Structure 1
């Protein structure tokens, strides 16, 4: 190792360290302080749930406080329409799936903190195969969910979150927020069978936070691969600190004569227009 060369490199980058890295440390400390205070703001809820008999309730509330604070800090996250969600009784939230659904994490956190409700979330099956995520899926009620089990949960008065587009929409939608639900109307069949209200959910700018790397004509090949094997191979990139805001729309009106296809179509149209 050439020590003289290393000294020269250190001398060369010293101004960069002074100008960029040292102020960055102060910014990290300031933002860390703001994050702590935002979490501490929910301390009374944490005390309440820690005294409950549910061993995971306190953990959920603590993590919800963290995600709520992080959403505010990094994305200036706002949620409009939270008051529309009933405090009890069944309801289904149908949302557009961003590349990485951080908006859904933030919304779920606010529902836990302000509505005191634990949502049942229908997740893609590959999530349950990710090493180290099993407990996370269990505590936050992420389930694969057949139609029959979803109907049963709604009949029990549960709150449910579902993204019909799922991972396919996450990877292959675009900056125009194209809905990629195809013929998926299972959620509508479930809602009709359980006679549950359906709330469309959409987040402004969620596609500007994360995106997937698409390489020209390989995109169509990757689509075919995903449709065959249901494995997400595209690498995401981003986590840009852009402002995002979630809108919860009014329940979509329907009656006993409404078909699942019609209900699914109406939800998809409203989903990207409520913003």
Structure 2
């Protein structure tokens, strides 16, 4: 039977606390509350870093929804205009450009190296989420007045609802001949040779996981287009992947399922750097050109990225003007 505390010694609050302790079988109510506080302190940040990447996906789907609305509104004009989607592209580019400025203080260095007309292959490092490419594309559309075709993994084309977005922004899944045709027509073409493997398995030390891929180099040679290297500082500090954990790596290697969770969404400083163009040289083989392009991207990493990357340092760079470079 529960003992009854002396009401003369306890106020109503103390009496309820005493009963609460006895009912729960706890000797120290303060210890219980401290434990709850500890759980909240530990799990709330974990929940946030896994939720924030979902907002990027939500933003992408909102972009797709806008395209569908735009398409319905302008369907009667489609027969009279060859540039039906220009307004939609510029509107979405403005939205993504604003997102980059507000959330990441996004900067781009070397945009003048992108030609005002004519073909070029932009070769870039692939982050856990290629959000830097979205920001880069927005700058190209708004400041250069050009579209940039892109090569994406087959997996992207299987994501529900993405088809219209991929069509409007000229995303290709290959093959090589289609890429060559785009360049011969005078378009820009963006390729990440590391692809999904680099997105999943690279980390804060920024290794390039290109293997012996040479297809992009052969495309550049066949179309006589220059290659422009590109890298975004702190990209892995913004979003990171758990792909190196054994179960996720096994699923990808065995079934090609890119199911590794991505976490982050931290508002770190993003700076995209474009290196000097590698001109067309008929004397180079595809293997030699691929090695040359990989070294050019590696040079940008070595020059502009602290290794290993640090989230706190990348956050502090939002408030400083200096950045790593030789």
Question: Normalization by structure 2: what TM-score?
Answer: 0.66
Give the 3-state SS of the residue equivalent to 1:273 in structure 2.
helix
Match of 2:106 among 77, 100, 111: 77
Q: What displacement does 1:264 show?
A: 0.9
**Which has the larger Rg?**
2
Distance 1:117 1:231 in 2: 34
Task: Say how many residue pairs are matched.
Answer: 223
Q: Does 1:90 align with 2:116?
A: no
Match of 1:247 in 2: 273
Give the 3-state SS of the residue equivalent to 2:284 in structure 1.
coil
Match of 1:123 in 2: 152
Q: What displacement does 1:150 show?
A: 0.9
CA contact (8 A) 2:225 2:280 kept: no
Distance 1:52 1:74 in 2: 36
Q: What displacement does 1:223 show?
A: 3.3
CA contact (8 A) 1:93 1:198 kept: yes
CA contact (8 A) 2:201 2:244 kept: no
Q: Does 1:186 align with 2:207?
A: no
Match of 2:200 among 171, 183, 195: 171
Q: What displacement does 1:155 show?
A: 1.0
Give the 3-state SS of the residue equivalent to 2:121 in structure 1.
strand
Match of 1:64 in 2: 93
Deviations 1:132-184 (A, max 9, x none): 11111111111101111111111111110000001110010011110000011
Instruction: Indicate the RMSD between aligned Cα atoms, in angstroms.
Output: 1.8
In structure 2, stretches of 5+ residues that fail to align are 1-76, 305-326
Match of 1:136 in 2: 165
Distance 1:272 1:111 in 2: 23
CA contact (8 A) 2:97 2:138 kept: yes
Q: What displacement does 1:230 show?
A: 2.5
Structure 1 runs of 4+ aligned residues shifted over 4 Å read: 50-53
